[in-house]
Amino acid sequence: MTCSSSTISRTRFICATLALLVLAPAPVRGDAPADGLAKARTALAKGDGIAAEAPLRAAIRNGAKPDSVRAELGEALLLQGDRRAAREVLYGGDFVPGSAAHGWHVRGRLELAERRLPEAGQAFDRALRLDGTDAALWIDIARLRFAGGEQAQAIEAADRAVKLSPKDPRALELRGLLVREQFGLYAALAWFEAGLRVAPDDPRLLGEYAATLGDMGQYKAMLVVCRKLAEIDPGNVRALYLQAVLAARAGQTTLARQILLKTGKALQDVPAAVLLNGVLEYRAGNTNLAVGHFDRLVRMQPDNLQARTLLVRALKRQGLDAEAVDAAGLWVSQPSARPYLLAVTAQAHAAIGRKQEAAAMLARSEELGEQDADPIFSAQPLGALALTYADAPNFAGNAVPYIRALIGDGDGQRAIAVADRLRMANPGAADAWLLSGDSRMAAGDELGALDMYGRAALIRFNLPTLLRIDHAMRALGRPTDANAMVARYLRQNPGNPQALKLLSFGRASVGDGIGAGRIEAVLRARGLRNPS
């Protein structure tokens, strides 16, 4: 064929263009499209895992490599609560360099959600080496440390997060939660309020703010916040639970049950909600249902003395006296047994014909007043606990039962040695300092115990710490200092019933009958004392 030069040039141009179209990769092959990733990241920032998943799946269908969206897709699935699918994605390959820090961070979140703390720590460490300036990463590190009992280290991580991102609602929320544990309710309010100034419609901040106001006894303010939370997030279970608590405190049992019913199964494994359900059913006369709730709570938390006492009382009311005695178990034989538990158990003993045991137990209940905090003794044999402890002496799960057993066996010096080793291995854990103090109290070293308790209070000044400090101070003949410490706690946690009872007892012990009488009047007004 003969062709002119212009025809040949046009043909070559067309052929070359067709070849480029055939040989060039599709624009979505390899890396994920920028617009799809942008949409997904915007949705993830809002916490919307469903909206984030769609563009990421579309990108993969159109040829994007899974590694290019692995971190974002894993986070989207985790936000939806699908941990199994999230694990398959996050561990199904590698992360591209630009998202590696994020990917390891999300892996850590997954492990933390499943309580695999060592694995979470390893993942966070990898993320930290890649990017140590991510405030969200430091927030999760703080949560991990707190979950592992490292309260002091958790506080440091939360402080780092706030410094990196002073207006991050999650950082301010977490700092408020840790301050609440460390110093008390009043001190935490400022952090929640700071968060709400930045994000006034944030459901989590509103929930924590409302709960803190409720614990402080500011019920009207709590209700206002709860109503706002319900408007912003209709059906929010936290708002419903808090309103149910408020109705229960006001004696509106039917209303409280109706509100709690709206939460469905969302709170079925939350101990506080199980307790509230039991109390409400007991008040409504549904004793069999109350027994079910209290029994479940005791199985969830065997050391929860309040739950055990309520279970014994409910069984007694239902006429199951033998079961009530069994539920009381060895708790009534401990020196720290509460008078009310002794009295109810004594009635159950009498009902099944054990008159002598009933009389002795009733006599003990009448002799005992406000009881000091005592360590919980282990029911396992000391020898078996010693063997378990030897396998991993720095592991709290092995050391704590062993320390309790040593204290119960009267071997205070050995308990001190074991507790001090645990404390040195976990210096940021307030509970480790408390155990060192408990061991010293058992060995008769009240001053040493007070020092350990005081150091624990610097990390976490909660009610168990207060009770121990109060006990040690009174044992050292310092009742005035003990009363001052309780008053300091009440300034941060106003209206706390246990602290009010303790201060009433303390005022009476130093001859301040007027002060004790005023506190007793407050307790009676709140239904926490029988009318005189």
Q: Is the pLDDT reported for residue 351 higher than 50?
A: yes
Amino acid in position 10: R
Spatial separation of the C-alpha atoms in residues 205 and 24, rounded to whole Å: 51
Q: Is the pLDDT reported for residue 249 higher than 80?
A: yes
Amino acid in position 198: V
pLDDT at position 187: 94
Least confident of 86-90, 171-175, 365-369, 375-379: 375-379
Residue 531: pLDDT band (50, 70, 90) is very low
Domain spans in the chain, listed from the N-terminal domain onward: 271-350, 370-469, 478-532
pLDDT at position 213: 94
| CA distances for 398 relative to 365, 384, 436, angstroms | 34, 11, 15
**Can 271-350 and 370-469 be said to share one CATH topology?**
yes
pLDDT at position 210: 95
pLDDT at position 410: 85
CB contact at 8 A, 422 and 401: no
pLDDT at position 368: 52
Least confident of 37-41, 98-102, 115-119, 225-229: 37-41
- Quote the longest CA-to-CA distance of the chain: 125
Q: Is the pLDDT reported for residue 13 higher than 60?
A: no
The rounded mean pLDDT for the chain is 87
Mean pLDDT of 52-68: 90
Tell me the backbone φ, ψ of residue 223, rounded to 5 degrees: -65, -40
pLDDT at position 137: 97
In the chain, % helix, strand, coil (3-state, to 5) comes to 75, 0, 25
Residue 94: pLDDT band (50, 70, 90) is very high
Spatial separation of the C-alpha atoms in residues 132 and 458, rounded to whole Å: 27
CB contact at 8 A, 282 and 312: no
Q: Is the pLDDT reported for residue 193 higher than 90?
A: yes
Q: How many contiguous H segments (helices) and E segments (strands) does the chain have?
A: 30, 0
Which class is domain 271-350? mainly alpha
Least confident of 191-200, 288-297, 359-368: 359-368
pLDDT at position 530: 52
- As a whole number of Å, the end-to-end CA separation of the chain is 121
Residue 185: pLDDT band (50, 70, 90) is very high
Least confident of 50-64, 134-148, 252-266, 393-407: 393-407
pTM score, whole prediction: 0.79
Q: How many Cβ atoms sit within 10 Å of the Cβ of residue 361?
A: 25
pLDDT at position 443: 92
- Please tell me which residue, 254 or 404, carries the higher pLDDT value: 254
Spatial separation of the C-alpha atoms in residues 488 and 471, rounded to whole Å: 16
Q: Is the pLDDT reported for residue 460 higher than 70?
A: yes
Tell me the backbone φ, ψ of residue 185, rounded to 5 degrees: -65, -45
The 3-state DSSP class for residue 30 equals strand
User: What percentage of the chain carries pLDDT values higher than 70?
Assistant: 89
Show the tokens assigned to 194: 């700071």
Q: Is the pLDDT reported for residue 455 higher than 90?
A: yes
pLDDT at position 340: 86
Query: Token pair 């009872």 is at which residue?
Result: 501
Residue 358: pLDDT band (50, 70, 90) is confident
DSSP 86-100: HHHHHTSS---GGGH
Q: Is the pLDDT reported for residue 477 higher than 90?
A: yes
Mean pLDDT of 416-426: 92
Mean pLDDT of 83-89: 96
CATH for 370-469 is: 1.25.40.10
Residue 366: pLDDT band (50, 70, 90) is confident
Spatial separation of the C-alpha atoms in residues 502 and 372, rounded to whole Å: 9
Q: Is the pLDDT reported for residue 23 higher than 50?
A: no
Q: Is the pLDDT reported for residue 87 higher than 80?
A: yes
Residue 122: pLDDT band (50, 70, 90) is very high
Residue 220: pLDDT band (50, 70, 90) is very high
Q: Is the pLDDT reported for residue 12 higher than 90?
A: no
